Amino acid sequence: MKNFRLFFATAVILLLLIHTQILIAQGPPPGPPPHHRGGPPPGKPGTDAMRKDFYPPEMVMKHQTDIALSDEQRKFIISQMQDAQKNFTEWQWSLEAEMDKMQKLCATSKVDEAQVLAALEKVLAWEKQIKTQQLKLLISVKNKLTPEQLKKLDEFKKDREKGN
């Protein structure tokens, strides 16, 4: 039974390491510049269901003239992005440090399950904090837009999906 628990814990950790390595490869969380990093672009959540419901700040700013974004809305979005970027950069570095610690714990010939699981809790806490802030950013941007602006952005999304 002990061997099974160790195998299971190791398998879970390896899966999480692979997942987090993919997240790292995607680059830093939301903020300028708006480069697509292989996964969800900055400001975009990772699921298709959420992508349809939210509008990345970069998309809003790209179409600011088309959607008649007011100066007040533009300033608000820029401020939100700047605030988020300050936090996300620090949090991303903290996440990477914790992942590095966990990876080193897993690389030993005998893995201390308690230490690895404690390290995993730290990694997951940073990931939760980052994802929560990403979602808060998306919510604040969406809530600042008018129904007419949201409708136009939906049209741009549909055009982009069609490849236009």
- Quick: pLDDT tens for 41-65: 444 445 566 778 999 999 999 999 9
Structure tokens at 120: 């995993």
Tell me if 44 sits within 8 A of 54, measured CB to CB.
yes
Q: How many residues does the chain have?
A: 164
User: Taking the complete model, does pTM exceed 0.85, yes or no?
Assistant: no
- Quick: pLDDT tens for 100-155: 999 999 999 999 999 999 999 999 999 999 999 999 999 999 999 999 999 999 99
| Domain that includes residue 38, residue range | 2-162
What is the domain count for the chain?
1
Residues 6+ apart with CB under 8 A from 153: 55, 59, 60, 63, 67, 145
